[in-house]
Amino acid sequence: MHIPDGILPLGLTLGGWAVAAGLTALSLNRIAAQPDPREGLPRASMMTAAFFAASLIHIPVPPSSVHLMLPGLMGAMLGWYAMPAILIGLAFQAVMFGHGGLTTLGVNAVILGLPALVAFGLTRGLGHMTQRAAAAILGFATGAGAVLLAVALFAATLLAGLPAHLDAGAERAAITALALAHLPLALAEGMVVAAILGFLRRTNPEMIGAR
Amino acid sequence: MRADPITDPRLRIIALLALAFSFSALHGSIALALMVATTMCLVWLSGTPARQLLRALRLPGVVIAGLVVVLPFTSGETVITALGPLALRAEGLAAATGIALRFLAIFTLIVVFVGALPLSHLIGALRGLGLPALLVDMALLTLRHIEDLRHDLARMQTAMRLRGGHGWLGRFRSTGWILASLLLRSHARSERVYHAMILRGHGASGAALPDAPPVPRADKWALVVLIALAASLLAVDHLA
């Protein structure tokens, strides 16, 4: 779910780069304020590699299969490191696979980075939650909600950038089709992220509810 | 004789960004034709094989094709012809052609300018352009982990398939658990690698960065020409 080059007008692509640069600068600023800013670097790099490889993980959702996006998991596990990690992962995907784009790198980073930062805010206390069911629900909401927010941002950006003479009926149909097409992915990712966070909460709670 | 328009990776990145953003703003038919001609010239100059371009284009081409096929039938009011229940519209066709050409041209630029550069050189060039040290370190470490992670993931997926016995819903939970195990294992390895790097002096205060190589004079001129070209295309599109 990355927007390729050539679709969006210059204003949107430059705006995307500006917002992504702002969010990354804010994240780096918050990381620099931590007692040891480099402490989270190994985890962030490992998660960036996982984000990069996420497109290789296919989960059967009849009649087809979907691949994971992981913005919610990135936010829950990386905190302020999530935005730089997503930016790097997307840049690698664009250069190595042509997945996404160069002029749209900023827009794509915002589409996945904002949900990750929202997930970070939601899951700050997850590592210390004692109720297993509540933690599972929060984990599911984090995974599924982040995907749905990313889909909403993706659809809004795409429709804002498409030719102005696209009629309103077609716009509504496109938004509905896009949301419905991603609903199975949101549910699948919600369940997988809930299982991952549940596992980590039991074995290594310090790995979630990041700083 | 053919040669890369620019050899210095830092200047390649600047030229790529200038041309890509310029291309993304073009809409008129004259400017689009000049854009295609410029791209073909750069491909010819760099000696990039057509087979390499086509191979790189396979995956992203499918993504863009979906949009380009839909637009001519959903966008615009001037009907050119009717194909059964579908009406082919002029405005949508023009928009789809523009999107396809811009996408192909920018994609080709990426292959020409940075496609042949090893990622570690690309990251080094970005550091030379002022990318924050934390991002550079994160990118280099990520590069170090990607292959390990892919290898571990393939092995664990094979093991999961061999174990079998999962229902459709259980598949989500077991996928989550193998991913969590993978993350834990990779995290431990990542910590070990990073601490070993620190012990070898990585990031130590006072450690000198390697001197950036000087930029060849011909590269500077080539960059000026390419930036002027990018600006000229914008001007042509604006005036036409």
Q: What is the ipTM of this complex?
A: 0.85
How many angstroms separate the CA of residue B191 from the nearest CA in chain A?
5
Interface check for B145 against chain A (CB to CB < 8 A): the answer is yes
CA B75, CA A193: separation in Å to the nearest integer?
38
Neighbouring-strand partners of residue A67:
A58
Q: Which residue has the higher pLDDT, B47 or B164?
A: B47
Nearest to A53 among B21, B59, B149 (CB): B149
Lookup: tokens for A57: 């993980």
Please indicate if any CB of chain B lies within 8 Å of the CB of A10.
yes
Partner-chain contact A96 B119, CB within 8 Å:
yes
Q: List the single best residue of A1, A3, A5, A167 to mutate versus B (max B Cβ within 10 A).
A: A5
Taking the C-alpha atoms of residue A171 and residue B220, their distance in angstroms, rounded to an integer, is 46
Best of A39, A102, A204 to substitute, by most chain B Cβ atoms within 10 angstroms, is A102
Cβ(A94)–Cβ(A53) below 8 Å: no
Confidence of residue A66 (pLDDT cuts 50, 70, 90): low
Kindly report, residue by residue over B219-234, the tens digit of the pLDDT. 899 999 999 999 999 9
A48 or A165, which is more confident = A48
pLDDT tens string A70-87:
899 999 999 999 999 999
Mean pLDDT of B75-84: 79
**Whether A57 and B74 lie within 8 Å, measured CB to CB:** no
**According to the model, what pLDDT value does residue A80 have?**
93
CB contact, 8 Å: B133 with chain A? no
Where residue A52 falls among pLDDT bands split at 50, 70, 90?
A: confident
- In sequence order, the β-bridge partners of residue B202 are none
Burial label for B150, CB within 10 Å (0-12, 13-18, 19+), is: middle
> What would the pLDDT profile of B191-216 be if each residue is shown by its tens digit?
888 888 888 877 666 555 666 778 88
Residue B75 with chain A: CB contacts under 8 Å:
162-163, 165-167, 170
**Which residues in chain A touch residue B169, judged by CB atoms under 8 angstroms apart?**
191
pLDDT of residue A159: 79
pLDDT tops 70 at residue B76: yes
Residue in B21, B134, B205 to test binding to A, most A beta-carbons within 10 Å: B134
- A184 versus A14: which is more confidently predicted? A14
User: Quick one: residue B131, left, alpha or beta (phi over 0 = left, psi -120 to 50 = alpha)?
Assistant: beta
Scanning B158-177 for CB atoms below 8 A from A yields 168-169, 171-177
* Contact: B21, A200; criterion CB under 8 Å: no
* DSSP β-ladder status, B79-83 and A64-67: unpaired
Q: Is A102 helix (H, G, I), strand (E, B) or coil?
A: coil
Query: Among residues 51-70 of chain A, which lie with CB inside 8 Å of chain B?
Result: 52-53, 56-57, 59-60, 62
Q: Which residue has the higher pLDDT, A169 or B100?
A: B100
| Cis preceding-peptide flag for A63 (omega within 30 of 0) | yes
A20 touches chain B (CB under 8 A): no
Could you tell me the pLDDT band of residue B178, with boundaries at 50, 70 and 90?
Answer: confident
The answer to whether A95 contacts B187, with C-beta atoms less than 8 Å apart, is: no
Q: Do residues B125 and B212 lie in contact, with contact meaning Cβ atoms separated by under 8 Å? A: no
Please report residues of A whose CB lies closer than 8 A to that of B17: 102
How many angstroms separate the CA of residue B4 from the nearest CA in chain A? 18
